[in-house]
Structure 1
Amino acid sequence: MSSTSSVPPWNVRRPPGADGRVVLVTGGNAGIGYFVAEQLSAAGVTVVLGSRNPAKAEAATASIRSRVPDARVRAVRLDLADLPSLETAVESLDVERLDAVVHNAGVALDDPPRTETGDGHEIMFGTNHLGHFALTDRLMPLLSAAPAARVVTMGSFAAKSERLDLDDLQSRKDYRPKRTYGRSKLAQMYFGVELDRRLRAAGSTVASVVVHPGGALDSLTPSRPPVHVRSAGARLGAAPAALLLQGKHAGARPAVRAVLDPAVRGGQLWGPVVGAARLRTARRAPA
């Protein structure tokens, strides 16, 4: 999507400087979330990694600092499956305002059995959707304190073939891991779009944007030891897939753009385009 004439063309490898902004990235210690944090740090953003694992968060912050001189990055303990703990997590941010939150963290189970959070919710639905829903509510005073904050929700292609069953949101009657995961991501994306509608109706300065990373594979992702290590064999084996898919460093770019690009508007869905152009730009699609 071309930007307006007053805004420079977007360069995915050189986002505009954003000194002074503060952004929380949930699940920023690994995968796509790590690369969102690294790329935002390179743009001068003060990044807070939300992670339930302090050791992994420490490794991620060390990796970012080794690659980004003078990176302003730190971590807070954040467990989206533990709703009562979210108030403490928000307090530990210790900031006066928040310019954006990237809802990236998630749980994806491949096999039964069905498990629940401590609050009694199916763990994927409870973490991926309900945890971020509750976190947004607690963050809203900090987001509203910023001049034009953004809530960025990470969607997934897994949601495309699913429909929500309003009579079985917790998958008690029909639990199939892949279906339940897809539904949890669909709920997240619905939430992101509906949140923006309600923010606009309330006259809020906060905008909500939905993004998706496209097909992002570990085998196409550059190494960031000890956060992620890619073997030579994995790199060679994934070469054919690179014609259509990409690494998680590239999958992070739509979220980075949704945080930083002044041309992005609330209620939009941003993701990679197909083919080689996916490395240069993101496109807007109907929400």
Structure 2
Amino acid sequence: MSSASSTPPWDVHRLPRAEGSVFLITGGNAGIGYFVAEQLSTTGATVVLGSRDPAKAEAALASIRSRVPDAHVRAVRLDLADLRSLGTAAESLAVERLDAVVHNAGVALDDPPRRETGDGHELMFGTNHLGHFALTARLMPLLSAAPAARIVTVGSFAAKSERLDLDDLQSRRDYRAKRTYGRSKLAQMYFGLELDRRLRALGSATASVVVHPGGALDSLTPSRPPVHVRTTTARLRAAPAALLVQGKHAGAWPAVRAVLDPAVRGGQLWGPRLFGLRGTPRREAVWSHLTDAAAAARLWDASRDLTGVDPGDLRG
């Protein structure tokens, strides 16, 4: 990779070419993941959408192809809540190498009741964090086969005010949906940073980068029917919010830059430029609580025990 000083200014509307590269986007059929996939598809790379729902995946593929006629896009079935299925999902990619994976998929529960995955894990923690932790282990042989792969973990601004309870990762004692969601995203961010530390210690060429989309609202997101339809009423009601936050198309920008920009390095955190809530992507200081390497190591050990795999094992 070239140095930051030798690269031109980053332009979210003029992305560098990436022919021959293969990128996997988890949850690429909707929301921020869809726009990450759409934007990366303009680079000439092969973009694979990981999705639980084949019908939604096909709708997303059709939308991308309608906007990017020469797009190389396809989908694989991926259910992060089913840990035993992830090996099969990785094999279904049917590629010799993977140049980047964007860990974007996730669930958020607005209703109070606590739910569990089929593996018995709290749904948000089990899907958002443990699913991506285990998927990374399954993908590691493909990532290691690329000359300089990127693992991009999409966190959340909601994690900035949260702290992990390492003795209650599954929220069995104290479950509150919004807090549990924020903590699941915080766990993802810890994982992304700890993963890079371990990759560096092993001398790996693969880099792990953490990003967050800032404030990204459906009502400020351009329509992509049938994937997303924004009504005129919703657009007008959301107009004042555009001073502080943005749509999901812009929320995708930090992840896209983390995949493509040669100036991005492992262990970094990227987010929107203005107050961390909106604007073009920039590197920001790693949040103070995310610098707790001891907590990250404890989370890693717990995640390894809960999933039965270790992404730090480069054999996958």
Instruction: Tell me which interval the TM-score lies in, with the shorter structure as reference length.
Output: over 0.9
- 8 Å CA contact 1:148, 1:205 repeated in 2: yes
- Count the aligned residue pairs: 285
Q: How far apart, CA to CA, are the structure 1 residues paired with 2:283 and 2:119?
A: 38
User: Residue in 2 aligned with 1:84?
Assistant: 84
Partner residue, 1:35:
35
SS in 1 for 2:209: strand
**Residue 285 of structure 1, CA deviation:** 2.1
Secondary structure of the residue aligned to 1:256 is helix
1:104 alignment counterpart: 104
Name the counterpart of 2:127. 127
1:107-142 deviation per Cα after TM superposition (whole angstroms, max 9, x unaligned): 100112111000000000000000000000000000
Which secondary structure state, in structure 1, belongs to the residue aligned with residue 188 of structure 2?
helix
Give matches, 1:66-85, under 5 Å: 66-85=66-85
Aligned counterpart, 2:229: 229
SS state at 1:102 partner? strand
C-alpha deviations, 1:190-241, integer Å up to 9, x for none?
0000000000000000000000000000010000000000001111111111
AA in 2 matched with 1:265: R
CA distance in 1: counterparts of 2:112 and 2:280, whole angstroms = 39
User: CA separation in 2, counterparts of 1:48 and 1:210?
Assistant: 20
- The equivalences for 1:1-287 within 5 A come to 4-274=4-274, 278-286=278-286
TM (normalized to structure 1)?
0.97
CA contact (8 A) 1:129 1:184 kept: yes
Tell me the alpha carbon deviations over residues 55-98 of structure 1, each in whole angstroms, 9 at most, x when there is no partner: 00000000000000210000000000000000110010000000
Tell me, in whole angstroms, the C-alpha distance in 2 between the residues paired with 1:10 and 1:186.
27
**For the residues of structure 2 that align with 1:261 and 1:232, how far apart are their CA atoms?**
35
Give distance in 2, aligned partners of 1:211 and 1:128: 14
State the alpha-carbon separation in 2 of the partners of residues 280 and 92 from structure 1: 34
Letter in 2 for 1:267: G
What RMSD over aligned residues (CA atoms) do the two structures have, in Å? 1.4
The offset of 1:281, in angstroms, is: 4.1
**Structure 1's 132 and 281: CA in aligned 2 closer, same or farther, altered over 3 A?**
closer
- Contiguous gaps of at least 5 residues in structure 1: none
Q: Deviations over 1:35-74 (max 9, x none)?
A: 0000000111210000000000000000000000210000
AA of the residue aligned to 1:60: A
Work out the CA distance in 2 between the residues paired with 1:7 and 1:19.
19
Instruction: Supply the AA of the counterpart residue of 1:35.
Output: F
Return the offset for 1:280.
3.9
- 2:308 match: none
- Contact 2:245/2:278 (<8 A) preserved: no
Which AA in structure 2 matches 1:172?
R
Q: Distance in 2 between matches of 1:125 and 1:281?
A: 27
**CA distance, structure 2, for counterparts of residue 278 and residue 118 of structure 1:** 37
Q: Percent identity?
A: 83
Shift of 1:283: 2.7
TM-score norm. by structure 2 comes to: 0.88
Q: What code does the residue aligned with 2:159 have?
A: A
**Counterpart secondary structure, 1:158:** helix
Quote the Cα distance in structure 1 between the aligned partners of 2:119 and 2:281: 41
Equivalent-residue separation in structure 2 for 1:182 and 1:236 (angstroms): 29
Determine helix, strand or coil for the equivalent of 2:106. Answer: coil
Does the aligned pair in 2 maintain the 1:269–1:285 contact within 8 Å? yes
Q: Secondary structure at the match of 1:112?
A: coil
Tell me, yes or no, if the aligned pair for 1:22 and 1:99 is still in contact at 8 Å. yes
Matched residue of 2:153: which SS? strand
